[in-house]
Amino acid sequence: MSQANVHSNGQLPPQPERATLEGRNKITGFWLFLGGETVLFGTLFGAYFTLRNQTLNGPTPQELFELPLIALATLILLTSSLFSVFAVQAMHRNDLGKTRMWLGLTVLLGLSFLALEIYEFVHYVSLGHKFHSSAFGSSFYALVGFHGAHVAFGIGWLTLIFLQLKRKGLTTVTAPKVYLASLYWHYVDVIWVFIFSLVYLLGKVAG
Amino acid sequence: MANAHAVKRYRGIMDWLTTVDHKKIGKLYFGAGAFFFLLGGIEALLMRIQLMYPMFDFVSGQTFNELLTMHGTTMIFLAAMPLVFGFMNAVVPLQIGARDVAFPFANALGFWTFFFGGLLLNLSWFTGGAPDVGWTAYVPLATEPYSTRGVDYYSIGLQIAGIGTLLNGINFLATIINMRAPGMSFMRMPLFTWTTFVTSALILFAFPAFGIGIMLLTFDRLFNANFFDIAMGGNAVLWQHIFWIFGHPEVYILILPAFGIISEVVSTFSRKRLFGYSSMVFATALIGFLGFMVWAHHMFTVGLGPVANALFGVATMLIAIPTGIKVFNWIFTMWGGKIRFTTAMTFAAAFIPSFVMGGVTGVMLAVPPADFQYHDTYFVVGHFHYTIVGGVVFGLLAGTFYWWPKMFGKKLNEKLGQITFWTFFVGFHLTFFIQHFLGLWGMPRRVYTYLEGQGWDLPNYVSTIGAFLMAISTVVLLINVVITTIKGEKAEADPWDGRTLEWSIASPPPEYNFKQIPLVRGLDAFWKEKMEGKKEMTPAEPLQPIHMPGPSILPFMMSLGLFILGYGIIYHRYEFDNAFLGMLFNSKFVAILGAVIFFGCMALRSLFDDPGYHIEVEELQEKEVRA
């Protein structure tokens, strides 16, 4: 171990994620990465808005979307984002137990969101709205599914951090990981807000 | 810290496979880029031979289509960009006074994903035909019934290589933002660092669009999606928009670093500070910004309407302004300077008129009514080769001669360099100048042959002769490299009387670059010290142990995983004759194996932190004495 992450008195610096150059680099780099992610999702949104009226003989957005279910999913994901904030706050208090607890709860809510999304997709398929049934289908599943894949990746990432924190504890090496995973989780959440408004709400009011 | 040397250090091939040192990764990029440059060059020569005579049958039409696709794709994604990345890796950390890039591990990952992506793409030659739809892969031509399986190699190979490009963009942005030496403010950064910065920003915001584009193409081809299938409600123009929103910034991604190289070379060999430094920085940023506003000038004939065409036409012409600023600044830098015409400087001087000609035809093409005449003719081929060969390649060749001593510790032979220059310069203009006229005389691009008696016979013949001259030039350069490597003189630290920080340390630099991080006191930091009679930079820190990142095989393994995953996807529903292969691929076993390797290595990287190692003060002093 390099001496930078060894703290004889067990104290972390006030902002442990920014205490080392590696940590600061990771935060800068990750914000930049999120900029690139925005273009990824922006392109998928562009494709969706170009193609969303091409439903052929399949169901239209108005017929498909059931807002109560989507609202529940939204509530779950937004709450999970709040929990990841609590995790970072606990980390800043150098409270390993609470950090892990909030991370664990974030993962649980993420899993519930994913379960709802899978249920939703299965339901749509049973109504004849498939990936290959129309251009609307392709662009819908590409956009929302890409977000779902981000959620799934985030769950794996947060779980990995949840597990390694037990062994490694909170150090200036692990702190940036918690911070970045939380940043990622917020980002995935923000994208969902756009999907919720632009795909589901707008799909309900304007076909 | 007592156990600082516990880390294993590899030798030989394992050293290259596991390295995270930006200088070695720079060499890997440079070598792989040069290899693909030769490959793309051979493809170009084969095409030029086919077009040498009317109704010639040197290659078939199908082969010609594959050659033209692979020539464009290889040259842009697998030759020009890696060569640019090679210089960025080799030079930028040195220019800003850093010990490495911000993410050494991701840097290695970036190289290996590029390498395996390029390998995958080129393996298509041996598995039923390379992509045959042009580097732009327009739909519906690029969708299933109209093209070969090569297009799957195109979309998946470039997807894998694109991951590396994106990582590089992020890496250099973070490096330049966070890792500049004390005193190295943004407005003291050398121009090559500035252009790297802006290019990296372009990569960050342009490449994801392409990534999504080829992902959608893959979905259409291999997973029955309907993005571009008009019968199912898809939209062919959508592809063109996505492609060119990426594609136009892409050409600035190539040319801006070349601008940076030219700025360094012109300033060094004129023994003058770069004229109009701040306007150069401004122009670079402005070109990067405008580069995102002009994509539809590739689509004037699609039918977007006169308003859209006019707006995109005017926006395109605007780019001529910052580019003009640059051109005049280079000329004013040379004006009154004490010019030394080394090979690097000769290429830089020849770059200016050559690139300006490409720029002028660019403005001609930006006029929509005129573009309807030029569209899809050899005029366009002439135009973009003047910008990419007369611009990017001249810049890269200038950079090769300029930074070779720093990268490899030996100076390239100047006499052979002059032969390379003259054959390349004459060959280039011979090949491409006449192509403008071929276009005006009506020859369409991307045709594999033509009938005689249309006035195209002689110009095509001339053009092919020019291509051979460029081939000779490349061979001379290769001979130069071999001779220099075998018996070249060792280069001193500062062979050109340079101005920027990379010349203040040994050639090639030690693994930690700077024994002590230098203190930067102005633009052209090293020159400033030299002018005050000092031999080296003032250190900004005491002599202390240097922490280095440990080597890792994981970047290689992750890229291998992506490669296997890519193969698994391409053949996931292919009907094999061999039952065993069929079982492996159709059960998705291969794809899942690749994904498991990739994500598994990612998890390993997260679970096992890299402690790195320290280079102790005694070792630093020992190396100093030996040098």
State the Cα–Cα distance between residues B202 and B253, nearest whole angstrom: 6
The reply to whether A27 touches chain B by the CB within 8 Å rule is no
By the CB < 8 Å criterion, does B169 face chain A? yes
Looking at the predicted structure, is the pLDDT value of residue B575 above 60? Answer: yes
B609 touches chain A (CB under 8 A): yes
Q: Is the peptide bond before B508 cis (omega within 30 degrees of 0)?
A: yes
Q: Is the Cβ of A43 closer than 8 Å to some Cβ of chain B? A: yes
- Mean pLDDT score, B143-154: 92
Residues of A in contact with B177 (CB under 8 A): 28
Judge whether A42 lies within some domain: yes
Chain B residues with CB inside 8 Å of A35's CB?
A: 204-205
At B475-493, the pLDDT tens digits run 999 999 999 999 988 999 9
Looking at residue B620, its pLDDT comes to: 86
Tell me: the pLDDT tens digits for A15-60?
899 999 999 999 999 999 999 999 999 999 999 999 999 999 899 9
Residue for token pair 């094999």: B576
The answer to whether the beta carbons of residues B540 and B117 sit under 8 Å apart is no
pLDDT digits (tens, 9 = 90+) for B42-86: 999 999 999 999 999 999 999 999 999 999 999 999 999 999 999
Task: Please tell me the predicted confidence (pLDDT) of residue B128.
Answer: 83
Domain residues for A84? 38-52+59-205
From the list A42, A43, A160, the residue facing B606 with the nearest CB is: A160
Q: If contacts are CB pairs under 8 Å, which of residues 149-188 in chain A contact chain B?
A: 156-157, 160-161, 164, 168, 173, 177
The DSSP secondary structure of B251-298, one letter per residue, reads HHHHHHHHHHHHHHHHHHHTTSPPTTHHHHHHHHHHHHHHTTS-GGGG
pLDDT band at B10 (very low <50, low <70, confident <90, very high): confident
* Inter-residue long-range contacts of B9-12, CB under 8 Å, 24+ positions, other chains counted: B9/B551, B9/B613, B10/B551
Closest alpha carbon to B569 in B326, B219, B177, B98 = B219
Q: Mind listing the pLDDT tens digit for each residue in B417-465?
A: 999 999 999 999 999 999 999 999 999 999 999 999 999 999 999 999 9
Q: Which of B1, B205, B226 to mutate to test the interface with A (most CBs of A within 10 A)?
A: B226
Output the pLDDT for position B3.
44
Averaged pLDDT, B18-31: 97
CATH of the domain at A190: 1.20.120.80
Instruction: Tell me the CATH number for domain B4-552+610-626.
Output: 1.20.210.10
Q: Which residues lie closer than 8 Å to B220 by C-beta, 6 or more apart?
A: A138, B139, B143, B144, B226, B227, B228, B229, B234
Instruction: Please give the average per-residue pLDDT across B554-563, as a whole number.
Output: 98
Classify residue A6: in a domain, yes or no.
Answer: no
Query: Across the strands, what pairs with B546?
Result: B615
pLDDT at A3: 43
User: Using CA atoms, how far apart are residues B147 and B128, in angstroms rounded to an integer?
Assistant: 11
- Confidence at B626, pLDDT banded by 50, 70, 90: low
Q: What percent of chain B has pLDDT over 70?
A: 98
Task: Give the per-residue pLDDT at B144.
Answer: 85
Q: What was the pLDDT predicted at A6?
A: 47
Is the distance from CB of A52 to CB of A65 less than 8 angstroms? no
ipTM: 0.94
Mean pLDDT for the stretch of residues B228-237: 94
For B336-358, give the secondary structure using H, E and C: CCCCCCCHHHHHHHHHHHHHHHH
User: CA B70 to CA B57: how far, in whole Å?
Assistant: 20
Q: What is the pLDDT of residues B358-402, one digit of tens each?
A: 999 999 999 999 999 999 999 999 999 999 999 999 999 999 999
Tokens of B164: 């590396």
Contact A47 B1 (CB under 8 A): no
Does A65 reside within a domain?
Answer: yes
Residues B161-178 have pLDDT tens digits of 999 999 999 999 999 999
Q: Using one digit for the tens of pLDDT, what is the confidence trace for B401-419? A: 999 999 999 999 999 999 9
Average pLDDT over residues B555-559: 98
Q: What is the pLDDT of residues B316-345, one digit of tens each?
A: 999 999 999 999 999 999 999 999 999 999
For B243-256, how does the pLDDT look when each residue is reduced to its tens digit (9 = 90+)? 999 999 999 999 99
Give buried/exposed letters for B177-188 (b at 16+ CB in 10 A, else e).
bbbbbeebeeeb
Q: Which of B249, B261, B335 is nearest to B297 (CA)?
A: B249
**A50 contacts chain B (CB < 8 A):** yes
Mean pLDDT across the stretch B257-276? 97
For position B627, what pLDDT does the model report? 59
Cβ–Cβ gap B229/A135 under 8 Å: yes
Q: Tell me the nearest-neighbour CA distance from A205 into chain B, angstroms.
A: 22
User: Rounded to an integer, what distance in angstroms lies between the CA atom of residue B405 and that of residue B40?
Assistant: 26
Q: Do A29 and B233 touch (CB under 8 A)?
A: no
**Residues in chain A where the model's pLDDT stays below 50:** 1-8
Q: What is the mean pLDDT of residues B570-577?
A: 92
Cα separation, B389 vs A101, in Å, equals 58
Please check whether residue A23 lies inside any domain of the structure.
no
pLDDT at A5: 47
Check CB contact under 8 Å for B599 and A156: yes
Looking from the CA of B619 toward its CB, the CA atoms found within 13 Å total: 13
Give me the helix-helix angle, B150-178 and B104-123, nearest 10°: 160
Contact A36 B207 (CB under 8 A): yes
**Closest CA–CA distance from residue B548 to any residue of chain A (Å):** 10
B417-430 pLDDT per residue, tens: 999 999 999 999 99
In chain A, the number of structural domains is: 1
